[in-house]
Chain A
Amino acid sequence: MIIKVPKGYYQIVEKKGVILRTGFLGSGIGIGMIDKENEIAGLCHYVLPYKEYDIEIEEGEIIFSGQTLVPIFLEELETKGFNFSSAKIAIAGGSNYKNVLEVLNIGELNFKVVQSFLLKYPVNPENIILRIGFNCQSFLEVNLKEKVLKINLNGEEEIL
């Protein structure tokens, strides 16, 4: 089963042959995490960095910013027994144009948001793969069936 994780949402799956995917990330960020031992995986996808940019689409339905979404995502993983120290983590997106104007550098702000929250968890830096700030389209996939993370940069797939 393939689940597309929309902008402003996250998805966590356990012990299932499920594939989680983002769409085109733009300057938004995709965080993919997989704990192979406990068979827990999650994918978080957001576009705007700070909580003042949370958008209520319909009553009770909110597209969350990174600042709101990332801590909830990480806390839920923790509650489910996710082992951060051995987990593989892929962070992709934050794309920019060829010359980055500071005011339009939302990709970097988005990345800083995830960095700030990840600091609170015992992640192993060697298990983190970053593909941030490229000037091309990127997509992220968390594949619990094959127990891998896949980053697609302009059609070229990298399996981690």
Chain B
Amino acid sequence: MKRQILERIFNKVDTIPTFPKVAFYALELLKKDEVDFKELERVIKSDPGITANFLRIVNSPAFGLPQKIDSLFKAFMFLGLNQIKFIIIASVAKNYFNKDLIGYGISVEDIWLHSITCGIIAEEIAFDIGFSPAKIETVYIASILHDIGKIVLDLYTKLEIKEFQKVAKERPNWDFFQVEWLVLGVDHGLVGAHLLERWGFPKYISFAIRAHHDSDLMLQSDIASIVALANILTNMLGIGGGVDVFNYKIPKNLLKELGIKPERIYKYLKIGLYKSLLIQREFV
């Protein structure tokens, strides 16, 4: 039975549209020493969905632009390179998180806002601990997409919800991803990682997604640790939710491994809350 579910889950992975080439190409253009913004505009414009999301996001007060922006090129003039990359990823993510995740008990608005806030907090942490711009980019890609596996597993979680509840009740010490393993034979982190590998993202990004709930695995990579911490803080702020939300353990040395002083936590919470409220205002 479980084997059949697993086969169906991995068949479903094949039906998820691949990460748009347009976005990959745009990110490549942004890595060049001298960015050709005309070319960047042409590339992004070729995908109307990403363009529309980009302009909505950029006009959110979270980006603090002095005027309403109606063209990509104008937006590029006001934004930093990292902000442009962030908005591209967020725009793509919006197309994936396009319906309520009923099995996981979270609405379409909440899962997207959760993902974006996680990206915002993760970027802040990465910047604070001195990551290079290239590494900061990997951190927010992994953070924004950390729950992408849920869109694949949602149907099966919904179908097996009684079994989930039963197993979780019988094993209160288990983390939710262990319950996913027992019921479905896989967890949303692993499925998300598999998806990103298929799309051609580097291993260290897919690993961060794989590890974001696993208290042993996450400590093996600073990117994964940041994604995990950003996810934790986002949930503490009440942004997101769902059936699994606090049903995990946190490694005791998570902050120490990242060299984060405890007093910094409130700074991340404040920034996450502030920006998420501004983005929410534009979208919800």
Contact surface of A with B, Cβ cutoff 8 Å: 7, 23-28, 47-48, 53, 55, 57-58, 63, 93, 95-99, 101, 103-104, 106-107, 134-137, 154-155
Task: Identify which of residues 251-275 in chain B touch chain A, using a CB-to-CB cut-off of 8 Å.
Answer: 252, 254-255, 262, 265-266, 269-270, 273-274
A27 touches B247 (CB 8 A): no
Task: Identify which of residues 233-254 in chain B touch chain A, using a CB-to-CB cut-off of 8 Å.
Answer: 235-243, 245-250, 252, 254
B277 touches A104 (CB 8 A): no
Which residues from chain A contact B270 at a C-beta distance below 8 Å?
A: 48, 53, 55
Which residues from chain B contact A25 at a C-beta distance below 8 Å?
A: 238
Query: On chain B, which size bracket covers the interface?
Result: 20 to 34
A98 touches B238 (CB 8 A): no
Of the listed residues A48, A96, A97, A136, the one surrounded by the most CB atoms of chain B closer than 10 A to its CB is: A97
A28 touches B252 (CB 8 A): no
Which residues from chain B contact A24 at a C-beta distance below 8 Å?
A: 110, 238-241, 245
Contact surface of B with A, Cβ cutoff 8 Å: 61, 105, 110, 173, 175, 232, 235-243, 245-250, 252, 254-255, 262, 265-266, 269-270, 273-274, 277-278
Query: From A102, which residue of chain B is reached at the shortest CB distance?
Result: B262
Which residues from chain A contact B238 at a C-beta distance below 8 Å?
A: 7, 23-28, 47, 93
Which residues from chain B contact A96 at a C-beta distance below 8 Å?
A: 246
A137 touches B262 (CB 8 A): no
A95 to B274, CA, bound (A): 20
Which residues from chain A contact B242 at a C-beta distance below 8 Å?
A: 137
Which residues from chain B contact A26 at a C-beta distance below 8 Å?
A: 235-241
Q: Return 9 A-B CB contacts under 8 Å, by A number.
A: A26-B239, A63-B273, A63-B274, A96-B246, A97-B248, A98-B250, A99-B249, A136-B246, A137-B243
A104 to B268, CA, bound (A): 12
Beyond A97-B246, A98-B249, A103-B255, 4 additional pairs, beta carbon < 8 A: A48-B269, A53-B266, A98-B248, A155-B243
Query: From A25, which residue of chain B is reached at the shortest CB distance?
Result: B238
A7 to B206, CA, bound (A): 33
Which residues from chain A contact B254 at a C-beta distance below 8 Å?
A: 101
Which residues from chain A contact B278 at a C-beta distance below 8 Å?
A: 57
B277 touches A136 (CB 8 A): no
B277 touches A98 (CB 8 A): no
Which residues from chain B contact A97 at a C-beta distance below 8 Å?
A: 232, 246, 248-250
A137 to B235, CA, bound (A): 9
Min CB–CB distance A128 → chain B (angstroms): 22
Residue in A48, A55, A57, A136 whose CB lies within 8 Å of B247: A136
A48 touches B248 (CB 8 A): no
Which residues from chain A contact B248 at a C-beta distance below 8 Å?
A: 97-98
A80 to B10, CA, bound (A): 59
Min CB–CB distance A22 → chain B (angstroms): 8
Min CB–CB distance A29 → chain B (angstroms): 10
